Amino acid sequence: MLLPECLEDYVGEDSPVRAVDGFIDMLDLAGLGFQSSPASTGRPGYHPGLMLRIYLYGYLNQIQSSRRLERECGRNLELIWLTGRLKLDFKTIADFRKDNGPAIRKVCQQFVALCRDINLLDGSLVAIDGSRFKAVNAKAKNYTRGKLRQKLGEIDKAVERYLGELDRADEVFEQTGTVLPEARMERTLRKLEHLQKEAARYRSIEKRMDETGETQASLSDPDARSMATTPRMPRVVGYNVQTAVEAENHLIVAHEVTMRGYDRDALSMMAVAARDAMAADRVEAIADKGYYKSEEILACEEAGISVAVPKPQTSNARARGQFDKADFTYDAEADVYVCPAGEQLIYRFTGSQDGKAIRVYWSSNCADCVIKDKCTNSKQRRIRRWEHEDVLERVQQRLDKDPDQLAVRSMTVEHPYGTIKSWMGATHFKMRRLKNVATEMALHILAYNMTRVMKIIGVPALVAAMKA
């Protein structure tokens, strides 16, 4: 390729590649933990800044494969400018991402800090959500104990069927002297041998699960887990990516890749991470009902974080057409509940449930109540109150006061997921194991945030802020 000596003419002042170059220049790469390994030939390794430039440019342009990045370094004018015409092989590019995961994840945090410094994170509201991303692991190569039992049961039935065929062949021979075709016998024996090998493989997987205590086994990516998405969508073998998105500029301020297929244990983790990333004195967090867990809400309250999380409708009484706990009014001053009939349920004793102190209330007048059938089928209606129930009541009061908060959540946090998944393509991740997937996700989120900032303030302003 014939190129002029000066490549500057090919890279405009508003080109995103200049933001990539300026951002890497402002980083203390050694302080972040980057290392450059010498090549096998003994020559010095490539500077980590060069490698990071290649990856950030690649993820900004939906080029995540190390082989594709190798090709682009030789033909893409912006990458040629960014790398100073150096040509790298795909193995070197791939090894950098694999060997510098923790440092790359810190780079993502550094860009959030830059956004904070240029006053793009001045809001106090964040939306929290989780989404399932596909791993490099087919559904057929993910096993639960139930699936293994089903497979072994199917094999047992098939083995029994083929053995029955062999027994019948023996009976025919004994009675008539007729021998079944040799090809048919060999085919049956081969199928039996194959089934025995499959059974041994499934039992070895089951044994490994027994030894590790895991409830699932994934053969391609051992850290991937089968997870539900929505009731109408099929399960995904992959990872649950948690994000906290600032509501004003829709920047992802915190994220975490987890192996848990549910969200209920992640609320305080993500809310605290968002508060720390924004360096805010006060933060409000919104999440959907999948995050509703009393201990997590309490942890947020104790951390000074106000949360709005709707409570799932799981009342058995409501399902039976009877009064729900919400139909009983609590009088904090008298420490009593007032039922729909106007009777007082007084405090009786404190018990324990799932490690939580629970206060129990009931009235002695239930037997004569005219609407008892709408309340309980038992001798009396008992109301249980957690010792920190007031925290949950404040959450409900905030939602009752401003129900539109939940719409803000969906408009804020769901769009980034859609954007990133469209960048990733059909197979979301390229690498295997949690630590490597977390590195990939950090690069995607860094690229997303940088794209958002360039749209908000423009490339020249961003580059100027980096140099300030």
| Residues near 231 by beta carbon (within 8 Å), at least 6 away in sequence | none
Distance CA 153, CA 202 (A): 11
Decide if 329 is inside a domain. Answer: yes
If you compute the radius of gyration of the chain from its CA atoms, what whole number of angstroms results?
Answer: 30
Counting as low any pLDDT under 50, the low residues of the chain are none
* Of 218, 234, 252, the domain-final residue: 218
Two tokens, residue 318: 């409501």
**Is 251 in the same domain as 344?**
no
**pLDDT at site 41:** 53
**Is 242 in the same domain as 129?**
yes
Question: Taking CA 43 as the corner, what is the angle to CA 40 and CA 49, rounded to the nearest 5 degrees?
Answer: 100
Specify which residues 134 forms β-bridges with.
Answer: 238
Distance CA 231, CA 290 (A): 13
**Is 408 in the same domain as 301?**
yes
Long-range contacts of 432-436 (CB under 8 A, 24+ apart): 432/135, 432/136, 432/137, 432/220, 432/221, 432/222, 432/223, 432/224, 433/221, 433/222, 433/223, 434/223, 434/239, 434/257, 434/259, 435/101, 436/97, 436/98, 436/101
**pLDDT at site 467:** 87
| Residues near 93 by beta carbon (within 8 Å), at least 6 away in sequence | 51, 54, 55, 66, 69, 70
Distance CA 217, CA 151 (A): 14
Backbone angles phi, psi at 133, to 5 degrees: -115, 140
**pLDDT at site 67:** 94
Contact 265, 244 (CB under 8 A): no
**pLDDT at site 77:** 87
Per the structure, the complete domain to which residue 94 belongs is given by: 8-119+448-467
Decide if 242 is inside a domain. Answer: yes
**Is 365 in the same domain as 461?**
no
* Of 175, 198, 218, the domain-final residue: 218
Decide if 204 is inside a domain. Answer: yes
Distance CA 375, CA 371 (A): 7
pTM of the complete model: 0.87
Identify which of 114, 49, 120 has the alpha carbon closest to the alpha carbon of residue 465: 114
Distance CA 327, CA 345 (A): 13
Give per-residue pLDDT as tens, 110-133.
999 999 999 999 888 999 999 999
For CA atoms 331, 337, 343, 344, give the dihedral sign: negative
Specify which residues 256 forms β-bridges with.
Answer: 242
**Is 303 in the same domain as 332?**
no
CATH number at residue 304: 3.30.420.10
Q: How many residues does the chain have?
A: 468
Spatial strand order of the sheet with 344-353 comes to: 329-331, 336-338, 344-353, 356-362, 382-386
Identify which of 436, 441, 427 has the alpha carbon closest to the alpha carbon of residue 135: 427
**Is 75 in the same domain as 103?**
yes
Question: What SS3 string covers 224-265?
Answer: CEEECCCCCCCCEEEEEEEEEEECCCCCEEEEEEECCCCCCC
Decide if 23 is inside a domain. Answer: yes
**Is 102 in the same domain as 31?**
yes
Decide if 436 is inside a domain. Answer: no
CA 320 to chain centre: 35
**Is 294 in the same domain as 152?**
no
Two tokens, residue 455: 């749209």
Domain count, the chain: 4
Decide if 441 is inside a domain. Answer: no
* Of 218, 249, 275, the domain-final residue: 218
**Is 13 in the same domain as 100?**
yes
- Beta pairing, strands 356-362 & 283-286: unpaired
Decide if 317 is inside a domain. Answer: no
**Is 201 in the same domain as 83?**
no
Distance CA 290, CA 358 (A): 23
Identify which of 453, 444, 438 has the alpha carbon closest to the alpha carbon of residue 418: 444
**Is 211 in the same domain as 155?**
yes
Question: Taking CA 107 as the corner, what is the angle to CA 306 and CA 66, rounded to the nearest 5 degrees?
Answer: 125
Decide if 18 is inside a domain. Answer: yes
| SS3 (DSSP) at 192 | helix
CA 279 to chain centre: 24
**Is 210 in the same domain as 175?**
yes
